[in-house]
Amino acid sequence: MKLIILDHYSQASEWAAKYIRNRIIQFNPGPEKYFTLGLPTGSTPLGCYKKLIEYYKNGDLSFKYVKTFNMDEYVGLPRDHPESYHSFMWNNFFKHIDIHPENTYILDGNAADLQAECDAFEEKIKAAGGIELFVGGIGPDGHIAFNEPGSSLVSRTRVKTLAMDTILANARFFDGELTKVPTMALTVGVGTVMDAREVMILITGAHKAFALYKAIEEGVNHMWTVSAFQQHPRTVFVCDEDATLELKVKTVKYFKGLMLVHNKLVDPLYSIKEKETEKSQSSKKPYSD
């Protein structure tokens, strides 16, 4: 497990975006080999998405051969509602990059048979070859996706009733009115995310500090579902300084001491421009008379 500690939210967002960029480019996706990326919603990943959009617009990154699977969606909220996760993803990310709409998979919270929709989502992930990198965020109570406290740590995609803490936290997106916040959602399970070949969790802000403490320094506990990723062979937690406030000084010093090593994951920063240059050079015929 890696814990990446940056000074501020903007730096944590940029590090995460650089990591995603390098992973996609090094994977070398193409028509016969798509990179599969799991994605979150919420305020935490917005900075990361902005950097990824910037990389695309600068010609350094392409999502043409990327398939995305989103973590969750509200039940009963119209797809075009400004707070649906369909709207969130399109407005904040997808419409700004070159990803094909048919390669973006988001659960349908208005499906006639919600459990069948969840089962079909699991099958789509399998058909895509599994998730290469699943990016996630957490709530202040340590939930990943909508796997609320008490969720099974081997759970699959399913219908979930939202905890009151989650409803209160999300009320800010619904004019502060609790009655407008959906009480149910479709969500990937903890087991679904654990199946990904790699997991990156973004945790920023002092209000997430106790959850980070539970995820890093205490044992695996279904009341803090993010703690399950202690048992994943390739987990990267990316946080800012504020999120470390509940960690022991010794823990913070230990992981900060590894940053010289961990920064090699994003430095050098790769670009598809370099890949295109390599291709053009290799395609040139050697001189002959």
113 is catalytic: no
Given 14, 73, 148, 240, the catalytic residue? 148
Interaxial angle between packed helices 46-57 and 9-27, expressed in degrees from 0 to 180 and rounded to the nearest 10 = 50
96 is catalytic: no
Length of the chain, in residues: 289
What three-state secondary structure class fits 147? strand
Given 117, 132, 143, 195, the catalytic residue? 143
**Residue 133 amino acid letter:** L
- Name the token pair of 231: 């048992």
Sheet holding 184-187, edge to edge: 72-74, 184-187, 158-161
Given 72, 117, 132, 195, the catalytic residue? 72
Cis before 268? omega within 30: yes
Burial grade of 165 (CB within 10 A; 0-12, 13-18, 19 or more): middle
- Name the token pair of 89: 């993803």
72 is catalytic: yes
Phi, psi of 14, rounded to the nearest 5 degrees: -70, -40
7 is catalytic: no
Given 14, 73, 117, 141, the catalytic residue? 141
The answer to whether 147 and 72 have CB atoms below 8 angstroms apart is no
Q: Which amino acids are annotated catalytic? A: 72, 141, 143, 148
